[in-house]
Amino acid sequence: MTVRLSSAEDYATLLDKYDTWMFDCDGVLWHGDRVIDGIVEVLDILRSRNKKVLFVTNNATKSRKSYKGKFDQLGVEAHVVRPIFHGHEFWPILKLSTEPKDEIYGSAYAAAVYISSVIKLPKTKKVYVIGMSGLEEELKDEGVSFVGGTDPADCTLEPYSLTNFVSDPDVAAVVCGLDTRLTYTKISKAFQYLTRNPGCYFIATNEDSTYPSAEGLLPGAGSISAPLRYALGKDPICTGKPSSAMMDCIRAKVTFDPKTTIMVGDRLNTDIEFGQNGGLSTLLVLTGVTAEADIAGPSASSIVPDFVTASLADLKVVGK
């Protein structure tokens, strides 16, 4: 049964109970390029009480490093290990030994790690990308070769024909993320690899049907992979929320106790389900995709969060 938070005592009890706080970003911290009022103050309260703060996003358009730039631009504190080249190896460097390690985890990163560490794609093989530069950057950081993506030849709006298509036998996976420059050429090439190359993996960074922009909802990454799902008659492997692959990426870098960890999100079938699958408590906020009608009444979802509040900013009431 969902507990509706309303009083200062409710929020104080919540803060005392949980040591690690995981947050979705779009619809929870901000809308587009506008921070939701009160969010920075709430995050400051959590840090002042020595809580672990992690940001877990299904936005695959940005790499973790470029996403850090958005946090900085919006004045929201977040930390990412900054690797520097040292001889023949990369070493993570922190300004201070007490500074937090990686706090940002995205579905593009989870997809890249899945391909490099779970599938263990051979170095001689490639990935065909439907997605943007953030996904490409994460693949590159994991040592995964790729084609497609932001290549101008694949972003063309010219009619597509198989007449001049030259299949690359080294493409062993297709990965789909949100792509605002999606073309028929990209869908067609991905379809060819998935049907012609034996054992070619079909991977989606996430399956969000929509995402909240500053001006309203737009089609999400799930809508990008949908044409291929329909054409192929099968579903992709999903590496973002609510998949366990995302939780595995976080566990590999952060030590936390699920019993004292809470996932905060605005979407039931990704954020809340992700928390529940990982054995975490969950807090739903109503500043994004999910509306009151989705959790109460005859059309209520079967996914039930532990707590609900109008906005994450409601926690401001406890003060520092």
The residue to which tokens 């977040």 are assigned: 78
Question: Which run of H or of E encompasses 56?
Answer: strand 52-57
Alpha helices in the chain (DSSP H): 8-17, 39-48, 64-74, 107-113, 133-141, 184-196, 221-232, 244-251, 273-277
Tell me the residue type at 102: D
Q: Are 270 and 110 in contact, with CB atoms under 8 Å apart?
A: no
Give CA–CA dist 33/30, Å, rounded: 7
Q: How many Cβ atoms sit within 10 Å of the Cβ of residue 222?
A: 24
19 as an active site residue: the answer is yes
Rg of the chain on CA atoms, in Å: 20
Per the CB < 8 A criterion, the answer to whether 110 and 205 are in contact is yes
Q: Which of 19, 168, 294, 314 is catalytic?
A: 19
Rounded-to-10 torsion of CA 259, 264, 270, 274: -10
- Per the CB < 8 A criterion, the answer to whether 116 and 252 are in contact is no
Catalytic residues: 19
